[in-house]
Structure 1
Amino acid sequence: MRIENRMQLQLWREECKEKRQKENCCILVCGGTGCLAGGSDKIYARLKELTSNMDHVTVKIGEEIAHVGLKMSGCHGFCEMGPLVRIEPYNYLYLKVKLEDCEEIFEKTILHGEPVTRLMYEDNGHVYQTQEEIPFYAKQTRLVLRNCGHIDAEHIEDAMAVGAYESFEKAVFEMTPEAVIKTVTDAGLRGRGGAGFPAGRKWSQVASQPEKIRYVVCNGDEGDPGAFMDRSVMEGDPHRMIEGMMLAAYAVQAQEGYIYVRAEYPLAVRRLQIAIAQAEEKGLLGDNILGTGFSFKLHINRGAGAFVCGEGSALTASIEGKRGMPRVKPPRTVEQGLWEKPTVLNNVETYANIPMIIKNGADWYSRIGTPQSPGTKAFALTGNVKNTGLIEVPMGISLREIIFDIGGGIKDDKGFKAVQIGGPSGGCLVESQLDSKMDFDSLSKIGAMIGSGGLVVMDEDTCMVEVARFFMNFTQRESCGKCVPCREGTKRMLEILERIVAGNGEMSDLDELEELADMIENTALCGLGKSAPKPVVSTIHAFRKEYEEHIIDKKCRAGVCSNLRVFKIDPEKCKGCSKCAKNCPVNAITGKIKSPFTIDNSRCIKCGSCIDNCPFGAVYTE
């Protein structure tokens, strides 16, 4: 039934809440991309079989399961521990659930409310029975991610039961467009896409344009390696993001919006399509919404995966059917964006903040985080850290708290070396910077940036020269080629880094890298090009000695750069079995059976076959 007015909307919302409250037991099977890849669809199907004759149990994942996932993600956030199953009202969170665990979950928990402790998080002998007690969650402040993992992303009724579209209702019936913009401005919300530009100021600039045809665009491209924050929101709570876009549209009086999502996010695209169709069916999207005279239609555009399309002007060009390439500014997007019309362009997380700001007020929001960077920020915590996954924390939290309290510290209790923040556009922070505050201004002062929110933690065995080469290889491949500084400059930087890791570097290369970096940062056309050298510059400054070892000593202390590895055989461990020699493709290993073998490193091609085939661990590198 289409909702025609405010009273009907409120009655329907109450029905949805009552239906949810009647659920005596709710099984929430994580249907995020990562957990689906781990087989959560099969777990769901088995639990559905077991509970099919129980009226008081609702299995919450949706009637249809999307394809097995392509990218790691998870609505619950604790991605490394998936597949995840949460049981309410007990708030039990079961980790790494297997198909054969379903019967025990059914018998113990669903029928009798008893925990299956072997599936719960355990640390130093202590079992954490509820999700909220687990250290990974305990220090988070989940506002944007509040509903992810707690509602069925494919049914609008479940979203309505936890407050979806309440803020939009408040705005269109109780506030003017100007009041909405003022609330967002007073809250101090800064764009979560990387640059941190004040959202309210951007909206105000669009609203003040004389051109009355305006657009609202959502950047869901998210191309940074290791970043999956926006994807999780689109998969786990799509109505929150859609409501944020609707509020932006009302504020600037736009009638059409576009969500730009990369094609590698098929599950996010599918759930957005479902959410939009459901909202249209109920009259929350389309013409004359709730009888107010305000109309707004949403479209989804799938990008081909070009990293540069995360830049605003390249993104709008792609939506228009053109090649995704940045353009010279001004004019800015707020003046001439999509189809040369004034355009509000924010990312998924920014829009997801808007409903709670309108609902709770600017004062409430501005008290979270820091005065200059209010609110929370979602981060994708990955790399050499014990607890990886999606987290949300107040702005201003220290890097140390994220890595060692929420993340549980470094894997295998190794030493911390660095963390790459902000993906290819960010830089490396080292141990002396662990107490740095995670907010826009504090990071800017030390030459780093939040970026989209990727955090890649690296331990003592990481080669920082190879890290710089990896990110430069990524940005060079993703360069659109429009401007010479980025197209040619990143190529030259990559060539130098490849020479260094191959053992052919010279000390003059370091000066040349810094000169090229300075040139690119000051002359590249777009923000992505300007920030491309950051990983290289930050690693040279913090780990110059490692670069010098690669160049002068022809040594990689981490043993990562294969051309710089020296293979040796420990004569005390070698039993003379000859397996290493038999598998060496260049006959660099010689010896007699039952006597220690030796490696001729002048002939060795560093393939590592000898290490792989030695049954006694006698082959090593230095």
Structure 2
Amino acid sequence: MTDLTPVLSATWDAEQSWKLGTYEEHGGYGALKKALGMPPADIIQAVKDSGLRGRGGAGFPTGMKWGFLPPDDGKPRYLVVNADESEPGTCKDIPTMLSAPHVLVEGVAITSFAIGCNHAFIYLRGEVVHVYRRLMQAVREAYEAGHLGKDIHGSGYDLDVTVHAGAGAYICGEETALLDSLEGRRGQPRLKPPFPAVEGLYARPTVVNNVESIASVPSIVDKGVDWFTSMGTERSKGMGLFSLSGHVNKPGQYEAPLGISLRELIDMAGGMRGGKELKFWTPGGSSTPLFTAEHLDTPLDYESVGAAGSMLGTRALQIFDETTCVVRAVTRWTEFYKHESCGKCTPCREGTFWLAQILERLEDGHGTDADIQQLLDTCDSILGRSFCALGDGATSCITSSVKLFREEYEAHVQQGGCPFDHSAAALFDYASAETAEEAHA
């Protein structure tokens, strides 16, 4: 059994874990003071040597991304933290900022110093007002303690941090749409190249990283490259937050080395709900191809998951047992993507609309065998032809579910609707809740 490795989550259970005092009692901001005494190039090299890969889904090497910035020309360059966590099933960055916001703030300060940035931005999903307030408080505490602002700890280095709340658009999780939104424009993906490292925020060189990626930097600086590389696999180094949701007894965040298996995580989560059998699951959120019980022992690292036919993504492990209708689940995800398509490109705008229409027809009992093939044909028309990855992601759960559970789609046609009892798959007993509410009234 692989052991959990609490690093980002190490202080989550401490009293008032979000406070500066609590964070400093556990060694917080020691890494920043250490980094300010290092040449910036050495910090970038340490992150490269650590093998830290982007924790936002793509898995691109973080240090290499920093290295793409052009030589300093004396003009501004920016760090933008993508905290617009919106992918269905993904819930790791929000609890990090809620329980330990200072680990992100310290990571922002170290990263900004390393890349020569004097103004960093944290782009937060606007609906999470409680997290926004807590993050604002953490930034304010960091200014008051001298961890941000002018001449930080006498180093001569200045840094300002702005926390920006978005307006609730899933597309703004795409880095260039996020930059457009941050500049005050409608959030829509930009044509690449130029890439943000060359021409990003305000047409200046910009590094865009996920919350977990930046929050992992202080521990690398503090504890060293060898410590970080001692966890994980040969090509997927370090630890990560695995978000288990759905039909497990103890859903939540499990911080473990990359390469742990779902079987181990489900054991840690107290097993499947009601002792039922695992039917299907997502290794990286709803935009990744589905896995089944056959993949329980697949190491959850970038290479192994990719070789098995899916993507590690954000490690959003949505677990569904045998009571779940796969068509119903896929329909709900597709409705989300249809709603969140920005409309910039035709394949995604029109394709997600028609995918949702076909799936709803199947679910309602009005579908035909031709509809199943039309689903696949429409997915083929979207895949690789949309402006950004939203369109591709919307097709993943559909094509993989038809491949794995085609007989279930056919049953919806043959039986004139869904053959499953939806109440059996519900996470909560709504009938009992309503009865209790009526009794209380």
TM-score normalised over the length of structure 2? 0.93
Conserved? CA contact 1:209–1:335, under 8 Å: no
Kindly report which structure 2 residues correspond to 1:442-591, keeping only aligned pairs within 5 A, or say none: 442-560=304-422
| Structure 1 residues 573-600: Cα deviation after superposition (integer angstroms, max 9, x where no partner) | xxxxxxxxxxxxxxxxxxxxxxxxxxxx
Could you tell me which residue of structure 2 aligns to residue 56 of structure 1? Answer: none
Conserved? CA contact 2:172–2:178, under 8 Å: yes
Could you tell me which residue of structure 2 aligns to residue 333 of structure 1? Answer: 196
Instruction: Give distance in 2, aligned partners of 1:209 and 1:438.
Output: 38
Instruction: Give distance in 1, aligned partners of 2:414 and 2:74.
Output: 62
Could you tell me which residue of structure 2 aligns to residue 169 of structure 1? Answer: 33
* Structure 2 residue matching 1:477: 3-state secondary structure: helix
* Structure 2 residue matching 1:358: 3-state secondary structure: helix
Conserved? CA contact 1:153–1:236, under 8 Å: yes
| Structure 1 residues 223-282: Cα deviation after superposition (integer angstroms, max 9, x where no partner) | 022322111111111111111111111111000001111122122111111111111112
Could you tell me which residue of structure 1 aligns to residue 4 of structure 2? Answer: 140
- Give how far 1:377 is off: 1.4
- Give how far 1:529 is off: 2.2
Query: Is 1:160 aligned to 2:55, yes or no?
Result: no
Closer/same/farther in 2, CA of residues 211 and 472 from structure 1, 3 Å limit: farther
* Structure 2 residue matching 1:510: 3-state secondary structure: helix
4+ runs deviating over 6 angstroms: none
- Give how far 1:313 is off: 0.4
- Give how far 1:551 is off: 1.4
* Structure 2 residue matching 1:533: 3-state secondary structure: helix
Closer/same/farther in 2, CA of residues 295 and 248 from structure 1, 3 Å limit: same
Closer/same/farther in 2, CA of residues 192 and 151 from structure 1, 3 Å limit: farther
Instruction: Give distance in 2, aligned partners of 1:447 and 1:180.
Output: 35
- Matched letter for residue 472 of structure 1: T
* Structure 2 residue matching 1:202: 3-state secondary structure: helix
Instruction: Give distance in 1, aligned partners of 2:72 and 2:385.
Output: 30
Instruction: Give distance in 1, aligned partners of 2:263 and 2:380.
Output: 30
Instruction: Give distance in 1, aligned partners of 2:293 and 2:173.
Output: 30
Instruction: Give distance in 1, aligned partners of 2:311 and 2:295.
Output: 13
Closer/same/farther in 2, CA of residues 326 and 431 from structure 1, 3 Å limit: same
- Give how far 1:383 is off: 0.6
What is the percentage of aligned positions where both structures have the same residue? Answer: 38
- Matched letter for residue 507 of structure 1: D
Conserved? CA contact 2:125–2:168, under 8 Å: yes
- Give how far 1:491 is off: 0.8
- Give how far 1:428 is off: 1.6
Query: Is 1:362 aligned to 2:208, yes or no?
Result: no
| Structure 1 residues 121-169: Cα deviation after superposition (integer angstroms, max 9, x where no partner) | xxxxxxxxxxxxxx9xx94221111111225234312211111111111
- Give how far 1:446 is off: 2.4
Could you tell me which residue of structure 2 aligns to residue 53 of structure 1? Answer: none
- Matched letter for residue 246 of structure 1: A
Could you tell me which residue of structure 2 aligns to residue 83 of structure 1? Answer: none
Kindly report which structure 2 residues correspond to 1:153-232, keeping only aligned pairs within 5 A, or say none: 153-173=17-37, 175-206=38-69, 208=71, 210=73, 212-232=75-95
Instruction: Give distance in 1, aligned partners of 2:86 and 2:56.
Output: 11
Conserved? CA contact 1:424–1:472, under 8 Å: no
Closer/same/farther in 2, CA of residues 245 and 406 from structure 1, 3 Å limit: same
- Matched letter for residue 503 of structure 1: G
Could you tell me which residue of structure 1 aligns to residue 284 of structure 2? Answer: 422
Instruction: Give distance in 2, aligned partners of 1:294 and 1:282.
Output: 15
| Structure 1 residues 385-433: Cα deviation after superposition (integer angstroms, max 9, x where no partner) | 1111111111001111112x11221111111111123223122210111
Instruction: Give distance in 1, aligned partners of 2:251 and 2:108.
Output: 30
Instruction: Give distance in 2, aligned partners of 1:451 and 1:210.
Output: 35
- Matched letter for residue 171 of structure 2: V
Instruction: Give distance in 2, aligned partners of 1:195 and 1:325.
Output: 19
Query: Is 1:291 aligned to 2:172, yes or no?
Result: no
Could you tell me which residue of structure 2 aligns to residue 313 of structure 1? Answer: 176
Q: 1:393 aligns with which of 256, 274, 282?
A: 256
Query: Is 1:260 aligned to 2:104, yes or no?
Result: no
* Structure 2 residue matching 1:196: 3-state secondary structure: coil
Conserved? CA contact 1:211–1:341, under 8 Å: no
Conserved? CA contact 2:232–2:258, under 8 Å: yes
| Structure 1 residues 262-316: Cα deviation after superposition (integer angstroms, max 9, x where no partner) | 1221221111111111111122101111121111100011011111111000111
Report how many residues are paired. Answer: 427
More off after superposition, 551-560 vs 345-354: 551-560
Conserved? CA contact 2:11–2:17, under 8 Å: no
Instruction: Give distance in 2, aligned partners of 1:377 and 1:158.
Output: 22
Conserved? CA contact 1:381–1:457, under 8 Å: yes
- Structure 2 residue runs without a partner (length 5+): 424-430, 436-441
More off after superposition, 444-453 vs 534-543: 444-453
| Structure 1 residues 12-38: Cα deviation after superposition (integer angstroms, max 9, x where no partner) | xxxxxxxxxxxxxxxxxxxxxxxxxxx
- Structure 1 residue runs without a partner (length 5+): 1-134, 562-608, 614-622
More contact order relative to length (CA 8 Å, sep ≥ 6): 2
* Structure 2 residue matching 1:260: 3-state secondary structure: strand
- Matched letter for residue 33 of structure 2: E
* Structure 2 residue matching 1:532: 3-state secondary structure: helix
Kindly report which structure 2 residues correspond to 1:12-27, keeping only aligned pairs within 5 A, or say none: none
Could you tell me which residue of structure 2 aligns to residue 150 of structure 1? Answer: 14
TM-score normalised over the length of structure 1? 0.66
Conserved? CA contact 1:172–1:250, under 8 Å: yes
Could you tell me which residue of structure 1 aligns to residue 439 of structure 2? Answer: none
Query: Is 1:344 aligned to 2:204, yes or no?
Result: no
Could you tell me which residue of structure 2 aligns to residue 32 of structure 1? Answer: none
Instruction: Give distance in 2, aligned partners of 1:218 and 1:345.
Output: 6
Instruction: Give distance in 2, aligned partners of 1:521 and 1:378.
Output: 29
Conserved? CA contact 1:524–1:530, under 8 Å: yes
Instruction: Give distance in 2, aligned partners of 1:212 and 1:367.
Output: 39
- Matched letter for residue 314 of structure 1: A
Closer/same/farther in 2, CA of residues 519 and 285 from structure 1, 3 Å limit: same
| Structure 1 residues 341-368: Cα deviation after superposition (integer angstroms, max 9, x where no partner) | 1111111111111001011111221120
* Structure 2 residue matching 1:419: 3-state secondary structure: strand
- Give how far 1:450 is off: 2.3
* Structure 1 residue matching 2:214: 3-state secondary structure: helix
* Structure 2 residue matching 1:258: 3-state secondary structure: strand
Conserved? CA contact 2:366–2:417, under 8 Å: no
Conserved? CA contact 1:216–1:258, under 8 Å: yes
